[in-house]
Amino acid sequence: MENRKVLIGMSGGVDSSVSALILKQQGYEVIGTTMKLYEGEIEGSCCGLDSTLDAKRICDYLQIPHYTLNFKESFNRYVIQDFIDCYANCKTPNPCIECNKYMKFGIMYERAKELDCNYIATGHYAKTEYSEKYNRWVLKKSKAGKKDQSYVLWNIPKEMIEHILFPLSDFEDKEQIREIARKNNLKVANKPDSEDICFIPDGNYKKFLENNSQIKPKNGNIVNSKGEILGKHTGLYNYTIGQRKGLGISYKVPLFVLGFNKSKNEVIVGEEKELYKKEILVTDINLLLIDKIDEEMEVEVKTRYSAKVAKAKIKQENDNIIVIFDEPQRAITPGQSAVFYLDDIVVGGGKIVK
């Protein structure tokens, strides 16, 4: 008889609450868990005390067990330190991707197995299913359009896919989820979404870096691609690729941040046309659909969560992937992820190097 026991990550929000409800309605034996990930309490965050209490109340209402698990040490090691290291090396991190890999689909899955659960579940907008064409379990886009979250799930272990449930995979918008919550008297039906990075109050990442790392304001030169000094900056971590406002430069044409020279402590700026790249290098790759790219492959590529997909060819060279876009792409940012799709199936992804 199939083991239909599932451990679901409960953030206290409407997505995970409705997911738990749906799983129970589908006949799964559901256990809820909330992960304690960092010190202190941040109002409205997904892992704060209020959210933990909301998750517990929902589980009590649904008559399912609820556990709070302390993963602060691991979260600091795998997510917060990576966040700091990226900014220290002029990269722009995506901490949700690291959290998914190491916490939700790493340590939480290990805890699920200890509880004899065959599945783990979250409130992500994504889909898992068995593909007859590829003869394996695949990760796919959900039907949620712009809210689809398959982009932040590219680096989950592929052997886990058949053990992951995404109950919200076939819903097209958030209002449908809220309506289910209202009809079932879930008290979080109108709870606002958490938009900021969970461990940073007010979304002020610059203040967080200054207070929690060796990264401090350090003035340097703003230069163009020829090396001409055009102004002064206040610290490399204060700038992002593609940024135009706040540079404090008066010039004959609009200037944008193109990149950084860490060794010289320089911010490099240039005209908008210099922001476009035809080819990028991707490392730390994780392939889900296939085990290796043996020959050049045509895919669609997404280079940040909010970006549209772009057509490209990819080829693997040892542990790296080279992406050649059909059309040059704007403001490609090292540290962000490039995720590859065939139609709505996630081929895999990796970290952008340059």
Q: Could you give phi then psi for residue 53, rounded to 5 degrees?
A: -65, -40
Residue 321's beta-bridge partner residues?
282, 316
Catalytic pick among 46, 59, 117, 198:
198
- Catalytic status, residue 198: yes
- Amino acid, single-letter form, for residue 191: K
Q: How far apart are CA 323 and CA 290, in angstroms?
A: 17
Catalytic pick among 47, 59, 86, 99:
99
DSSP string, 122-152: ---SEEEEEETTTTEEEEEE-S-GGG--GGG
Interstrand relation of 126-131 and 220-224 (parallel, antiparallel or unpaired): unpaired
Interstrand relation of 229-233 and 276-287 (parallel, antiparallel or unpaired): unpaired
Q: How far apart are CA 275 and CA 257, in angstroms?
A: 8
Q: How far apart are CA 197 and CA 295, in angstroms?
A: 38
Contact status, residue 22 vs residue 60, Cβ threshold 8 Å: no
Q: How far apart are CA 284 and CA 155, in angstroms?
A: 9
Q: How far apart are CA 5 and CA 15, in angstroms?
A: 20
Among 154, 155, 188, smallest CA distance to 18 is for 188
- From residue 186, alpha-carbon distances to 26, 76, 250, 303 in Å are 18, 32, 54, 36
Contact status, residue 22 vs residue 33, Cβ threshold 8 Å: no
The vertex-99 CA angle with 18 and 139, nearest 5°, equals 65
- Catalytic status, residue 90: no
Active site residue ranges: 99, 198
